[in-house]
């Protein structure tokens, strides 16, 4: 039994090493330019050995993003209405310390706008999930009387996501003075009757 746990721990550790290597290669080459053999070389293992842990390049990309998204989900867990929106601001604040990860996300998201891109469905699901959660937060704020009169929760959510994504892109493009969290906060504040 102890041996099995030891093997599981080694396997889990190896998967993390593979994801770190995949992150490096995807950041350098994008999804389209990256190859499984390049990722295997980066982590120092054979291609068949790597495919034992992840059956495809897409599976590795999804796992890299799942790891990224998990930290955001941890911040948002259990939050509703205004607290959820404050959580989004906190995610923007933390993203400021994750330039390489944000760059990777932005590059792959741009590639995945093509309907035939292997990650297209992943990004569609992600955007729908983020939009749904943000819209639900604005709807709950509206129900509690915390949303200004006449504000459409769907439009507020959609524009908040667009502003956040746009600020990230500008920041990556060299506008280092951009405070993404402050920008997100200012944008969402215009819809609310209480301080964010």
Residues 92 and 172 in one domain: yes
Give the per-residue pLDDT at 32: 86
Let me know whether 111 and 26 are in one domain. no
The verdict on 35 and 73 lying in the same domain is no
DSSP notation for 108-160: HHHHTTSTTSTTHHHHHHHHHHHHHHHHHHHHHHHHTT-BPTT--HHHHHHHH
> What pLDDT is attached to residue 9?
64
The CA distance from 29 to 31, in Å, is 7
For 125-167, how does the pLDDT look when each residue is reduced to its tens digit (9 = 90+)? 989 999 999 999 999 999 999 999 999 999 999 999 999 999 9
Do 71 and 158 belong to one domain? yes
Least confident of 84-93, 95-104, 125-134, 178-187: 95-104
Whether 7 and 69 map to the same domain: the answer is no
Residue 15 sits in a domain whose CATH number is 1.10.10.60
Are 188 and 89 a contacting pair, CB within 8 Å? yes
- 17-58 pLDDT per residue, tens: 999 999 999 888 888 899 999 999 999 999 999 999 999 998
Q: Which of 171, 34, 38, 163 has its CA nearest to residue 102?
A: 171
Domain limits for position 164: 64-196
Residues 17, 106, single domain; the answer is no
| CATH code for the domain of 154 | 1.10.357.10
Q: Are residues 87 and 18 in the same domain?
A: no
Tell me how far apart the alpha carbons of residues 21 and 41 are, in angstroms, rounded to a whole number. Answer: 9
Residues 29 and 105 in one domain: no
- Give the number of other CB atoms < 10 A from CB of residue 42: 19
Residues 6+ apart with CB under 8 A from 26: 34, 61, 64, 104, 107, 108
pLDDT at position 56: 93
Q: What is the CA radius of gyration of the chain?
A: 19
Q: Are residues 105 and 123 in the same domain?
A: yes
- The pLDDT, as a whole number, for residue 11 is 82
Mean pLDDT of 109-121: 91
Q: What local confidence, expressed as pLDDT, does residue 65 receive? A: 85
Whole-angstrom distance, CA of residue 100 vs CA of residue 153: 32
The average pLDDT across 65-85 equals 87
How many domains are there within the chain?
2
Note whether 61 and 119 are within 8 A (CB).
Answer: yes
- Are 93 and 174 part of one and the same domain? yes
Q: Are residues 50 and 123 in the same domain?
A: no
Q: Are 96 and 158 part of one and the same domain?
A: yes
């Amino acid at each position: 039994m102890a041996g099995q746990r030891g093997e599981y721990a080694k396997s889990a550790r190896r998967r993390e090493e593979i994801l770190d290597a995949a992150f490096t290669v995807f950041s350098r080459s994008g999804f389209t330019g990256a190859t499984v053999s390049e990722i295997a070389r980066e982590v120092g293992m054979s291609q068949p050995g790597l495919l034992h842990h992840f059956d495809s390049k897409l599976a590795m990309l999804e796992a890299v993003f799942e790891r990224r998204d998990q930290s955001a989900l941890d911040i948002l867990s259990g939050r509703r209405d205004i607290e959820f929106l404050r959580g989004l601001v906190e995610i923007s604040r933390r993203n400021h310390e994750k330039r390489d990860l944000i760059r990777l996300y932005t590059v792959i998201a741009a590639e995945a706008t093509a309907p035939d891109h292997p990650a297209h469905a992943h990004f569609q699901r992600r955007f729908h999930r983020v939009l749904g959660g943000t819209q639900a937060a604005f709807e709950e704020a509206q129900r509690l009387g915390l949303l200004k009169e006449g504000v459409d929760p769907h439009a507020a959510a959609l524009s908040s996501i667009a502003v956040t994504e746009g600020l990230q892109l500008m920041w990556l493009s060299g506008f280092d003075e951009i405070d993404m969290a402050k920008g997100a906060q200012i944008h969402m504040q215009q819809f609310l009757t209480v301080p964010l």
